[in-house]
Structure 1
């Protein structure tokens, strides 16, 4: 019986509830799978056409990648069949994906950065490009073989980062995480042997020091809400921060990309930029007040609630990224002056809205419910309704987060 290959979505979700794309190789009714390295929501998969639906933000890139990988496997199968090799599905997989020893560590870094750009993960792309610079500066060569990166190399590299480059331990370990990621991919692709893996038991251990990002407490939130003598730009920055806070620490990129078309039936409906999940949330009372204050600036229903993205070029992901980054920097600058006027001696940034909500809600809401509010897993309407009941039993939380009742 001849072997066959097919694109599939495996029904084994990861910790985020997303499903892996893979190529299934079948021979004599036995199958093996080659994972592509990308995960999507099951609602974004077309089982009939075996393609990623247009509902996924990176559908075209993923479908092109799948076609390329399938062609790769089909070509390998034809070569094996022409040799009349009677091999199993697993042997076929090993033969098709045989090690490519000529690939270096920097070759894999290049592929990693190209994949991030193709997936429009520009924040991660900028970060990992910067981390790669440290590796190149330390090695002082355009080529770096995986065999060279052993325990001694990593220990020397960490000493260099914290000594000569004056990085914190956390920053140094973030670079080690990138190196580990590249090793895991090379091993998965069978480009290098597991024996070369320099991490884990007997190797370099990545253990981050304990950190604590201090959020605001409920009295500080009340103080910040009522701060007086602030400029229009400070008021706008505070509105954006509070809007994020009222929605349980909504990410700043999702806040700025909120359009009026996403708001109907007393709910906010949007797709999260980080993981592509679609959520539908009832609008907290205080968030509703902020929305009303921006209605006079609305041009049409498709307009943005907040002005920062009105002139963004949505055909250019880099322009979107730059405008979000610039806006975030501006907000953080104004938040610094706002907290000073409010007499709050804590560093407050856009991201601290998330920690502030966690501080306040953590004592009253079960950790699993809080996890769902943070969108670390699926957030269904019923869960949000359940959270409303919990909030309503706590007077202070009820004041802030009581949902708009149904008509």
Structure 2
């Protein structure tokens, strides 16, 4: 019987209840599997057509990845059949996914970046491509085995990143997290062994420094709302910032993707780009005022509300990513002048809209409701984030001790 390769959804879920996509290689009614990375909910899988349903927000990208992986497997399978090397399913899997030489760190990183590009994860691709560049500059060679990345290597790399590139402690930790991610994948794929792993107890520990999250207070936002005599760019940038704030601090990348068709029965329905969480919120009156301003440029129901993506190539995710990135940069420039006019001494950026919502919410909203508004997967994430803006108990405690 001829061997075959096709995509399937494995039946063992991860801790989030999602199931892994895998290439199933079958020979003589015996099968073995090679996971391709992504996990999805079982209701998003169309087993009859062997593809991700359109109900999944990333269906197009995932189906493109599936097609690429299946084509690669079938091409390799044909080559093995020509050479009469398709003996058993397990042997075929080893032959298809083995490499002539064990890939080093940079070869493995290249495969990882290519996968991100296929999945159209351009934000991560941009960041992690930069991390690879930093590591190459430090190592001064394109040949680097995983075994060479030991505790001493990482210690010297950290010093290099600070002295030569002036990276912040948080950025340095992000580089280490990237190395750890690839190391774990390499161990799983049998490229290196666990005994060489440089992270964990008694070895390199990745600990992010506490970062200061400061948002505007209610008085400062009222001053921002009350500004008049603004230029067109200032007015537009303020609208975008307030729109994000009014909707619990949604990210600018999500706000710019919102279309008129996402508004139904006085509610906004949208999917967060970062974690693909769905959210439905009633449109506040203040947002209706903003929407009225952009109604004049509405071309059809599926048109974008804001102008940044109106001329984008919708089928080109990289073009969308670049236009959002450019728009965000321009907004932040105009927000500087808005901060001066509103007499706001804090650094005013698009991301501060999220912090400002958290700052005003403080501890007056239950963490479970905040988790729903922020669309965090884990309640711990919400509690840790919101702890940056809860000061009353500590202030009262301090006052109780020194007020004598």
Q: Same fold (TM over 0.5)?
A: yes
**8 Å CA contact 1:249, 1:355 repeated in 2:** yes
The DSSP-based 3-state class of the residue aligned with 1:35 is strand
Match of 2:63 among 45, 48, 60: 60
Q: Which residue of 2 aligns with 1:344?
A: 344
**8 Å CA contact 1:97, 1:190 repeated in 2:** no
**8 Å CA contact 1:233, 1:334 repeated in 2:** yes
Report the more deviating stretch, 232-241 or 264-273: 264-273
**8 Å CA contact 1:259, 1:305 repeated in 2:** yes
The structure showing larger relative contact order (alpha-carbon pairs under 8 Å, at least 6 residues apart) is 1
Q: Which residue of 2 aligns with 1:396?
A: none
The DSSP-based 3-state class of the residue aligned with 2:191 is coil
Any idea what the Cα deviations from partners look like across 1:310-349, whole Å, max 9, x if unmatched?
A: 1112233222111111110111111111122111111121
When normalised by structure 2's length, the TM-score is 0.81
The DSSP-based 3-state class of the residue aligned with 2:242 is helix
Report the more deviating stretch, 270-279 or 206-215: 270-279
Q: Which residue of 2 aligns with 1:265?
A: 265
The DSSP-based 3-state class of the residue aligned with 1:58 is helix
**8 Å CA contact 1:52, 1:63 repeated in 2:** no
Distance (Å, rounded) in 1 between the aligned partners of 2:323 and 2:22:
35
The DSSP-based 3-state class of the residue aligned with 1:207 is coil
Distance (Å, rounded) in 2 between the aligned partners of 1:15 and 1:235:
45
Q: Which residue of 1 aligns with 2:402?
A: none
Distance (Å, rounded) in 2 between the aligned partners of 1:281 and 1:30:
50
Give runs of aligned pairs for residues 202-281 of structure 1, distance below 5 A: 202-281=202-281
Distance (Å, rounded) in 1 between the aligned partners of 2:125 and 2:311:
23
Instruction: Give the 3 Å change call, closer, same or farther, for CA 140–66 of structure 1 in structure 2.
Output: closer
Is 1:152 the counterpart of 2:152? The answer is yes
Distance (Å, rounded) in 1 between the aligned partners of 2:362 and 2:11:
33
The DSSP-based 3-state class of the residue aligned with 1:57 is helix
Q: Which residue of 2 aligns with 1:325?
A: 325
In structure 1, the gaps of 5 or more residues are 379-407
Instruction: Give the 3 Å change call, closer, same or farther, for CA 192–334 of structure 1 in structure 2.
Output: same
Instruction: Give the 3 Å change call, closer, same or farther, for CA 105–232 of structure 1 in structure 2.
Output: same
The DSSP-based 3-state class of the residue aligned with 2:234 is helix
The DSSP-based 3-state class of the residue aligned with 2:21 is strand
Q: Which residue of 1 aligns with 2:295?
A: 295
The Cα shift of 1:237 comes to 0.6
Instruction: Give the 3 Å change call, closer, same or farther, for CA 77–275 of structure 1 in structure 2.
Output: farther
Instruction: Give the 3 Å change call, closer, same or farther, for CA 266–328 of structure 1 in structure 2.
Output: same
Distance (Å, rounded) in 2 between the aligned partners of 1:281 and 1:126:
31
Q: Alignment length, in residue pairs?
A: 374
In structure 2, the gaps of 5 or more residues are 379-404
**8 Å CA contact 1:18, 1:39 repeated in 2:** yes
